[in-house]
Amino acid sequence: MIFREGAVTARVICVGHAALDRTFFVDAWPASGESAKIAARGFRESGGGMAANAAVAVARLGGVAAFWGPAGADREGAIIRDELVRYGVDVGGLALFPGRRSSVSAILVDPTGERLIIGFRSDTLTEEPAWLPLASVCEAGAVLADVRWPKGAKAVLECARSLGVPAIVDADVAPPDTFASLAECADHVLFSAAGLTAFAPGASVADALGAALRLGARIAGVTRGSEGFYWLAAGGDGIRHVPSPSVRTIDTTGAGDAFHGAYALAIAEGASTSDAASFACAAAALKCTRPGSRDAMPTRPDVEALLDGVGARS
């Protein structure tokens, strides 16, 4: 499924957060206020972070992926860098800062696939983006920025928009001023359910997405897990919806990142919002059927097979 006939392999630049995730598979989370030792059924260590995971998703789906962002020059930073390279991600825009700590997360996953995340965020996420090779943004089919490194995200989104390169924001929970700053220089603002609530507390989905459009976005959407993806287009005639394929969920870790990476790649290949959302929903659903994050990211044939099956049943 190549969305632009005759297109060369699309390049997506993913900007923002990289981390090291240590995941524990448990039978149940501790009760509120309970102090207890919990035995894990399994353990996995792998790279994490929204933009870094999305870059891996792009590479697994056959795109050319680059990650741009900061981390510490420590043991964890070296693991982060080396693993991205192993997945085929260009790390020329990854900067490791001496004497600084990288982001690390502990993740508990229960038998239904739901997660409890404890995260330590690197103070490198306050760094200025002076080292970024912005001149190469023109070579990308799309850029995708998360909200964890606002300075870097804004620099790349502004550059992309000035060049006519599609600029996409992965809008998870963040301070209101971060949402406003990034939405005004993005073409697509894609919220998590929690991120949309944080952006517009108490508002309906349609009203909250409309508020994002008024900040300057062309497309504003929200992922809602198994419900799929809802979005509004500037000048459109109302909210639209793409359902998520029905799957047996094992682990939701990285599902949102799979969605955003797949969506950005499809947009880079010239897909419509509807086709990009269908492709991304299928990628995220498939990720949920497998434990872990990066090794569980689907390949393009996986996604095409699922979409073909959904089409045959509809």
Number of domains making up the chain: 1
For residue 233, the SS3 value is strand
Written as one letter, the residue type at 124 is T
Where are the strands (E) in the chain, listed by range? 11-15, 19-26, 40-48, 64-72, 90-97, 103-109, 115-120, 142-146, 167-171, 188-191, 219-223, 229-233, 240-242
Q: Report strand pairing: 103-109 vs 90-97.
A: unpaired
Where are the strands (E) in 73-199, listed by range? 90-97, 103-109, 115-120, 142-146, 167-171, 188-191
Least confident of 109-123, 179-193, 206-220, 236-250: 109-123
Contacts of 162 (CB under 8 A, 6+ apart): none
Domain for residue 3, yes or no?
no
Q: What is the CATH number of the domain that holds 223?
A: 3.40.1190.20
Q: Report strand pairing: 229-233 vs 240-242.
A: antiparallel
Task: Kindly state the percentage of the chain with pLDDT values over 90.
Answer: 77
Task: Extract the tokens encoding 246.
Answer: 């029905």
Task: Please state the rounded mean pLDDT for residues 285-304.
Answer: 92
Residue 146 has pLDDT above 70, yes or no: yes
- Domain coverage including residue 196: 11-30+39-313
Longest Cα separation, the chain: 59
Task: Please state the rounded mean pLDDT for residues 243-270.
Answer: 94
pLDDT-based confidence at 113, cuts 50/70/90? confident
For the chain, helix (H) and strand (E) counts, in that order, are 9, 13
Beta bridge partners of 153: none
pLDDT in tens, 184-233: 999 999 999 999 999 999 999 999 999 999 999 999 999 999 999 999 99
- Provide the b/e sequence for 12-22 (b: ≥16 CB within 10 Å): bbbbbbbbbbe
Kind plus residue range of the DSSP H or E element containing 301:
helix 300-313
Domain for residue 56, yes or no?
yes
Residue 140 has pLDDT above 80, yes or no: yes
The confidence score (pLDDT) of residue 297 equals: 96
Domain for residue 277, yes or no?
yes
Task: Please state the rounded mean pLDDT for residues 162-168.
Answer: 97
pLDDT-based confidence at 114, cuts 50/70/90? confident
Task: Extract the tokens encoding 14.
Answer: 């993913």
Domain for residue 6, yes or no?
no
What is the chain's mean pLDDT, rounded? 92
Task: Please state the rounded mean pLDDT for residues 284-310.
Answer: 91
Task: Please state the rounded mean pLDDT for residues 238-267.
Answer: 94
Q: Are the beta carbons of 182 and 191 closer than 8 angstroms?
A: no
Task: Kindly state the percentage of the chain with pLDDT values over 70.
Answer: 95
Task: Please state the rounded mean pLDDT for residues 130-158.
Answer: 97
Domain for residue 151, yes or no?
yes
pLDDT in tens, 5-61: 545 689 999 999 999 999 898 998 777 666 678 889 989 898 999 999 999 999 999
Report which of 245, 201, 199 is spatially closest to residue 220, judged by C-alpha positions: 199
Report which of 93, 153, 70, 117 is spatially closest to residue 255, judged by C-alpha positions: 117
Written as one letter, the residue type at 31 is A
Task: Please state the rounded mean pLDDT for residues 113-134.
Answer: 92
The confidence score (pLDDT) of residue 251 equals: 84
Task: Please state the rounded mean pLDDT for residues 269-295.
Answer: 94
pTM recorded for the entire structure: 0.92
Task: Extract the tokens encoding 227.
Answer: 């419900």
Domain for residue 276, yes or no?
yes
Domain for residue 4, yes or no?
no
Q: Are the beta carbons of 191 and 221 closer than 8 angstroms?
A: yes
Written as one letter, the residue type at 258 is A
